[in-house]
């Protein structure tokens, strides 16, 4: 599965989660701490949050759930940092919602609650599998349900 930001780039989510740097994870955790979320965002909470996205009746519900939105912002930050951009959590997410989409593959497996569990125990650091599948573009967030929907669709 890929995250696409028009005019910015395409990011392989599985690769990002498996290869996030300790510095970026620490920065993310510190910068996402609030009274409402005193622990900040971690790999575990991000994985659990992404799993929760599939439980929403409509993908636009992500925009109405503060925790889901925080996890989405965190994922976008990690993607852009992995892509070599020196951005903050806020600046990484400073783009129009219409420029954002997920590219899914029919063979995509649900994102595990622990993203690091996708790597085999014997894999060397930095190892990741090659993506040899075909994909189609949708605005659907990662989910376990197969019903596509747009992040911007819904009652206005």
**In 10 A of CB 38, how many CB atoms?**
7
- Is the pTM above the cut of 0.85? no
Question: Is the CB of residue 79 less than 8 Å from the CB of residue 71?
Answer: no
pLDDT at 76 exceeding the cut of 80:
yes
pLDDT digits (tens, 9 = 90+) for 11-45: 999 999 999 999 999 999 999 999 999 999 999 99
Report the alpha-carbon distance of residue 124 to residue 133 in Å, rounded: 23
Distance CA 18, CA 125 (A): 9
pLDDT at 148: 36
Domain parsing of the chain, residue ranges: 2-106
What's the pLDDT score for residue 38?
94
Phi, psi for residue 130 in degrees, rounded to 5: -75, 140
């Amino acid at each position: 599965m890929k995250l696409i930001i028009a005019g910015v780039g395409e990011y392989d989510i599985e690769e990002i989660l498996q290869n996030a740097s300790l510095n970026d994870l620490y920065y993310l955790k510190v910068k996402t701490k609030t009274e409402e979320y005193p622990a900040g965002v971690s790999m575990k909470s991000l994985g659990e949050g992404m799993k929760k996205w599939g439980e929403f009746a409509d993908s636009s519900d992500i925009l109405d759930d503060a925790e889901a939105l925080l996890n989405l912002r965190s994922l976008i930050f990690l993607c852009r940092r992995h892509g070599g951009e020196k951005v903050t959590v806020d600046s990484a997410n400073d783009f129009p919602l219409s420029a954002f989409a997920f590219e899914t593959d029919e063979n995509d497996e649900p994102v595990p609650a622990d993203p690091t569990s996708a790597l085999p125990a014997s894999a060397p650091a930095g190892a990741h599998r090659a993506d040899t599948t075909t994909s189609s573009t949708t605005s659907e967030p990662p989910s376990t349900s197969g019903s596509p929907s747009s992040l911007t669709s819904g009652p206005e």
